[in-house]
Chains A and B, each alone.
Chain A
Amino acid sequence: MDIKDLATLPRGEMTARPAQPRARGRMLVSAKLRAGRSRISDLHQSGSLKALFPHGSSTALQAVMLNTAGGVTGGDQFALTAEAQAGAHLVLTTQAAERIYRAQPGEVGQVRTMLRVAAGARVDWLPQETILFDHCALDRRLEAEVAPDARLLVVEPLIFGRGAMGEVVHSGHFLDRWRINFGGELIFADNLMLSGDLQATLDRAAVAQGARAMASLLLVAPDADRYLDRLRAALGPSGGASVIRPGVLFARAVAVDGFALRRHIIPAIQALSGADIPKTWTL
């Protein structure tokens, strides 16, 4: 078969490609409080996962994550552990949207995130959008250990297909598993899973009615209920928010595309974090 034949072959049948090198990325970042500011206490990075620490006026430590592999495909493995020690405030975001590329059949990309929030500390996990390409395969897990008087904010926006290119995700696998422990007790879990013809699932009533973007938002904080009204106002009629149990505020939103989603997510992050959103979000 020559190149010309390959070009006309349905893409799903191109299974004979030789195995590609797989990306690996690991990082540990820990923030400590010293002289009223949060600073780097510990930092280890290897492979395709890097962090930048822009200087700003904030007393929080901001880490901007960078995937130097340019995205995630089947077989890639990324693992991040981020920690805020007692009293520290760590804000994590990404330099760009994370692209989940077409995976080879049978291969799944793995992304693992562990967040540890010590007494009186705070972690804001605010990555930019994850964009799922057609034929993506991603298994993502987020675990958090939150001390009783600590705060955790998690916002995960998700876009299905590159809308600007008219891409529709007709095949793929996406599992995003959250496990949030508070004082050693499992207080929140979410298994968001779409598999097969993702757009057909999104088109269903009670899933997304054809929308191609969604977000899940979680605030764990002793005073989480105080943010409920502001969050509802930010999300508008296409979102919902609930204090599931004391100290646990969860919300979901859907939007026709990533642009429309940002119009709700940015004010939602501002309402929940009580601070300006990371600069990378607005560039």
Chain B
Amino acid sequence: MTSDPALLLHQWLSPSFPVGAFSYSHGLETAVAEGQITDAASAQAWIATALEHGAGLSDAILLAAAWRAEAGDPGALIDLARALAPSAERLVEADRMGAALARALTALHGHDLPDAPYPVVLGRAARLSDIPLPLTLRLSLQAFAANLVSACVRLVPLGQTEGQGITLALMPLIERLALQAEPGDTDLIGTSAVLLDIASMRHETLNTRLFQS
């Protein structure tokens, strides 16, 4: 079996890896339905905020903390990761993707992974497979962004190339946030994406829903 970290991460974070990432919009479906996201520029603005002031950076910090944690009970980190969810659907998104990731990676690699939200499982798995933390952070932040871009491409809708343009434009931000998250200091978690939180809450009562969040 290969131990090439780039190849492994590329597989784990691919849209076809069975964690169901494609079915979660993180609240963006509400922002499209309520007319706040209407084109590529507004989609990019919302996704940039989700990265910098929302779950993007805070999940990256949780991932880094899980990667750095020594063997033992990750219970406190798991409790914090779950408690930080601002809405029912965001908790379900993190829990279900985490459970699916743990199942797949346990089956593929025999890793002993906790029942935990997605970033905690991914951080532990990367550590157990000796995948360097900086690479894991950069690629997982990019996967987070790309998944939201893909949701916007389907919902707004946007052209495929237009969507890829957003992901490309966000790369400098992703590089910066990956560095910022690397110490894994959960005391530095801070979010302010209030309208994104509200959008995920309002998703529960949206009339037509393609996404689970």
- Which residues of A are interface residues toward B (Cβ below 8 A)? 175, 179-180, 185-195, 201, 204-209, 214, 232, 237-245, 250-254
* CB of B171 closer than 8 Å to a CB of A: no
Query: What residues on A are CB-neighbors of B83 within 8 Å?
Result: 179-180, 186-189
Which residues on B sit within 8 Å (CB–CB) of A239?
198
Say whether B195 contacts A254, CB under 8 Å: yes
**Of B85-93, B105-113, B125-133, the one touching chain A:** B85-93
Contact with A207, one of B42, B49, B204 (Cβ below 8 angstroms): B49
* CB<8 Å pairs between A and B, sample of 30: A180-B83, A186-B76, A186-B80, A187-B83, A191-B189, A192-B191, A192-B194, A193-B190, A193-B192, A195-B190, A204-B53, A205-B37, A205-B42, A206-B50, A206-B193, A206-B196, A207-B53, A207-B192, A207-B194, A207-B195, A208-B194, A240-B198, A240-B202, A241-B201, A242-B89, A242-B204, A244-B87, A250-B86, A252-B86, A254-B198
- Most chain A CB within a 10 A radius of its CB, from B31, B87, B189, B195: B195
B84 adjacent to chain A (CB < 8 Å): yes
Contacts of B205 in A (CB 8 A): 232
Q: Determine the chain B residues whose CB is within 8 A of the CB of A253 once the complex forms.
A: 198
Measured between alpha carbons, how far is A205 from B34 in the docked complex, in Å? 13
**Within 8 Å of chain A (Cβ to Cβ): is B160?**
no
B: number of interface residues (CB 8 Å): 39
- Taken together as a complex, chains A and B put the C-alpha atoms of A206 and B191 apart, in Å, by 11
Which A residue sits closest to B31, measured CB to CB? A206
Closest to A254 in B: B194
Query: Taking the complex as formed, is B24 at the interface, i.e. its CB lies under 8 A from any CB of chain A?
Result: no
User: What is the bound-complex CA distance between A241 and B201, given in angstroms?
Assistant: 6
Smallest Cβ distance from B203 to chain A, in angstroms? 9
Give chain B residues whose Cβ lies under 8 Å from the Cβ of A185.
79
Given the complex, which residues of A lie within 8 Å of B191, measured CB to CB?
191-193
Task: Indicate if the CB atoms of A244 and B88 lie closer than 8 Å.
Answer: yes
Give min CB distance, A208 to chain B, whole Å: 6
A36 to chain B: closest CB distance in Å?
Answer: 36
How far, in whole Å, are A240 and B31 apart by their CA atoms in the complex?
12
Partner of B201 from A186, A194, A252 at Cβ < 8 Å: A252
Minimal Cβ-Cβ distance residue in A for B201: A240
Contact call A194/B192, Cβ cutoff below 8 A? yes
Q: Are B45 and A252 in contact (CB under 8 A)?
A: no
Q: Nearest Cβ distance between residue B91 and chain A, in whole angstroms? A: 6
What separation, in Å, do the CA atoms of A243 and B83 have in the docked complex? Answer: 13
Docked pose: A214 CA to B199 CA in angstroms: 15
Contact A201 B192 (CB under 8 A): yes
Q: Are A244 and B91 closer than 8 Å at their CB atoms?
A: yes
Q: Which residues of A contact B193 (CB under 8 A)?
A: 206-207
Given A191-B189, A193-B191, A206-B54, decide whether A240 and B197 contact each other with a Cβ distance below 8 A: yes
Closest to A251 in B: B201
C-alpha gap A185/B79 in the complex (Å): 8
Partner of A205, one of B45, B80, B86, B201: B45
CA distance A227 to B84 in the complex (A): 21
Determine the chain B residues whose CB is within 8 A of the CB of A237 once the complex forms.
34
B46 at the interface (CB under 8 A from A): yes
Complex Cα distance A180/B84, Å?
11
Contacts of B46 in A (CB 8 A): 205-206
Residues of B within 8 A of A242 (CB): 86-89, 200-201, 204
- Knowing A186-B83, A244-B87, A245-B88, the reply to whether A204 touches B201 (Cβ < 8 A) is no
- 6 more A-B contacts (CB under 8 A) besides A179-B83, A190-B86, A242-B200? A201-B53, A240-B87, A240-B198, A240-B199, A244-B87, A250-B201
Contact between A206 and B49, CB atoms less than 8 A apart: yes
Closest to A202 in B: B192
With A205-B42, A206-B54, A251-B201 as known contacts, state yes or no: A244 contacts B86, CB within 8 Å: yes
- How far apart sit A86 and B190, CA to CA, in the bound complex (Å)? 34
Closest 7 CB pairs of A and B: A193-B190, A240-B201, A240-B198, A206-B49, A189-B83, A205-B45, A242-B87
Among B174-189, those with CB < 8 Å from A are: 189
Is the CB of B36 closer than 8 A to any CB of chain A? yes
Provide the bound-state CA to CA distance between A109 and B85, in Å: 27
Q: Does B58 contact A (CB under 8 A)?
A: yes
Docked complex Cα distance between A243 and B80 (Å): 18
